[in-house]
Chain A
Amino acid sequence: MTLQLSISQNRPRFFTRGVWVVSAIAMVGMLALAARFVLGLGAVTNLSNGYPWGLWIAIDVACGVALAAGGFTTAFVAHLTNREEFHPLVRPALLTAMIGYTFVALGVMTDLGRFWAMWHVMLPQMWQGNSVLFEVAICVMTYVTVLYIEFLPIVCERFIGRAHLPEPLAFLNRPVDRLLRLLDAGLARVMTIFIILGVVLSCMHQSSLGTLMVIAGAKLHPLWQTPMLPMFFLLSAFAVGFAMVIFESLLASRSFRLEPEKAILAKLARFIPVLLGIYTIAKVIDLLNRGAYVYLFDGSVASLLFVIEFGMGVALPFAILMNDRWRHTPRGLLTAASLVILGVVMNRLDVFLLAYTPTIQSDSYFPAFTEFAVTAGFIAMIVLIYRFIVLNFPVIERLEEVQA
């Protein structure tokens, strides 16, 4: 099936100067990735017995899962609570989640010492139900499948009435078209189940991702180590899901020279301070309850990290978004959304890496160049794939109008 692209003067090109830069980063990343699979983890990472998890788990996996949360939060407010005005945001959020989770899976595979045995997770006789990681793995695998199913209608829409196969196969155009219509109609009937399933699976593994580090016990600094970690991870995932949708929408508007959807985004942004408020209250109660607040003022690196993480990622965006005027400007929205995203990235980095100290402090960890290259390469690939799909599939409504 050829991609029958509409030819229009206004249609943005795929390659711009920025895209070339991103492509170069992706290329370097793929070379580093090849080196990892040929030479092994020891050769390309600075991981050690003290730091078995490094940059890849903290960024590619932990942050990847959190930042892809926009998919289920948007699906919830737009579809399940049936808020018509948010519908234009659903498809971009879904696309981010789909690509994001695909790269979470790739990130996990890159980090696995025995990546070729990854399929063991799917064998019931291998399952170990006490493992938090087991729950995360099963949920993420199922959720990726659900996301692909949720994306299918977009593929159908793209090709219905536009199936143009090359000459020897042209006779298949009509059956393919009929099949697509059938699939589309069938999916429309059951889609609600998949949307609900997506929300349930997301709540399950977003929280379990927090439970993951509870077993590390004293290795994780007491400012972060709490049995409440699953709740904090879930709440921050809700908040960052909305922030990511806002961030991306504004970025896409800028890149494709479209008018930003200020009104809708300002409306969506109202959820964020509510969530940040609940998060703050829960955090304060937890710190007081465990007596861990004493570490806040000891002037250690950990206390500094915590203050920056909370002040920059929670308090500041809360203040910005509580201001009606700021919330209605693209700049105010972009600043607040970026801060929430940075805050969550920092939180995941702290929990998985920066506030993690091995029992035997004989090792230190700073990621190798190749580790940075792979992570940057994956992010670059996500950007490129996102751009390609947005330009070739009906994802962003306003872009469709321009292209028509």
Chain B
Amino acid sequence: MLARQVTKLSCDSARREPAPRTAASSDQSGCALSRRDFVKISGVCAASLATAGVVKGSEKQALDPDRKGVLVDLTVCIGCRRCEWACNDENGLPNGELHEFDDRSVLESKRRPTSTQLTVINRVLSDDPAKPTFVKSQCMHCEHPACASACLVGAMRKTPSGPVIYDASRCIGCRYCMVACPYQFAAYEYENALTPQVKKCQLCPSRTSRGELPACVAMCPVEALTYGRRDELLALAHERIQCNPDRYVDHVYGEHEGGGTSWLYLADRPFAELGFPALGPSSPAQLTETIQHGIFKGFAAPVMLFGLLGAIGKLSHSAKVTP
């Protein structure tokens, strides 16, 4: 089976160099006023100083051009769930024997990533009962992640090399990241009374730093998962579509969805049928950051309001006193 898949997908143009891609811009307007200017202006309202971080935080984050990602070819996946086992094993999560993962009854019900299963395989039936599609879910590692934009203490962070990393030592447990995540893939350790964490795929930082593949990618017996530079994966995905137009729908999920993701998907039918949310081409974080930095740009609006209220106060008091 493995051989068949690979020959079918190989393509003469496979060696072609991918077109260079620039870092996805998280297009936030920089702030006109420096921190010092701001202090000068606001003078009296010392308390507002605390909020000066808003100004500081609007700097643009640059992503490495060679940042990594994973391409999932859903037409290849056989739903063996070996990736689930490997993920549990790598992350020290409750795990069973490998053969227990052959149990197909698990696929009867829909599952989602939880705090003890960072990746899950779901089966989506099609018109032909012999040809279901298996869909792997895990954190998508967005290019401009809403979770990281939402987090008030910077516990969620997009690393320039691709992965979105959670740092429990910063987290205060507000779970706003989970409200923000458009995929609903972040999970929480509600049962932990004192030190609960947000749990999600971290893209195996300890393995990739040693030059190894992420656990699920390394484990996959049919090479449904490909780890590599995001730009090369995108080129590869489009190549596969081009060479096998009958095999795929002409859509690489994650190329543009929600501003793009590090995990990219190929499928044989529309992604909406497979339960993928239809997202616009910009990150949900783009809009809130625009609103937020628009209102607080250079701290002009609050300072102006302060001045206006002061003027109103002065005028109304002198008007009452004079006559």
Contacts and interface: CB of A to CB of B under 8 A. Distances in A.
Contact of B292 (A115, A208, A217): A208
Given A49-B114, A79-B313, A41 B190 contact: yes
Interface string A279-294: 0000000000000000
Contacts of A42: 189-193
Contact of B175 (A53, A227, A360): A53
Nearest to B180: A215
A216 B195 contact: no
A47 interface: yes
A324 B110 CA distance: 59
Contact of A52 (B55, B153, B175): B175
B287 A112 contact: no
B112 A120 contact: no
Nearest to B193: A40
Interface string A40-59: 11110101111011000000
Contact of B196 (A80, A113, A128): A113
Interface string B168-203: 001111111011101110111111111110000000
Interface residues of B, number: 73
A301 interface: no
Nearest to B313: A80
A80 B194 contact: no
Contacts of A215: 146, 149-150, 179-180, 284-285, 287-288
Interface string A53-71: 1000000000000000000
Contacts of A82: 313, 316-317, 319-320
Contacts of B53: 124, 127-129, 134, 138
A48 B153 CA distance: 22
Interface in A68-125: 76, 79-82, 84, 108, 111-118, 120-121, 124
Contacts of A41: 190, 193, 196
Contacts of A315: none
Q: Considering residues B44, B115, B288, which has the most beta carbons from chain A within 10 angstroms of its beta carbon?
A: B288
Contact of A216 (B115, B149, B179, B277): B179
Interface stretch (B1-9, B212-220, B302-310): B302-310
B292 A135 contact: yes
A360 B184 contact: yes
Interface string B42-78: 0011011011011111100000000000000000000
A208 B48 CA distance: 15
A211 B173 contact: no
Interface residues on A, range: 35 or more
Contacts of A169: none
Contacts of B178: 49, 52
Interface string A200-235: 110110011001111111110000000100100000
A146 B316 contact: no
A236 to B, nearest CB: 17
A110 B26 CA distance: 34
A199 B154 CA distance: 29
Given A81-B313, A135-B54, 15 more contacts: A43-B193, A48-B190, A82-B317, A112-B172, A117-B170, A121-B172, A126-B153, A129-B56, A130-B58, A196-B306, A197-B306, A200-B305, A216-B179, A359-B183, A360-B275
19 contacts: A40-B192, A48-B190, A49-B187, A84-B320, A112-B172, A116-B194, A128-B151, A128-B153, A132-B292, A134-B54, A138-B51, A138-B53, A142-B51, A197-B45, A197-B306, A199-B305, A201-B47, A203-B302, A212-B176
7 closest A-B pairs by beta carbon, nearest first, are A129-B57, A113-B173, A40-B193, A42-B190, A127-B53, A134-B152, A52-B175
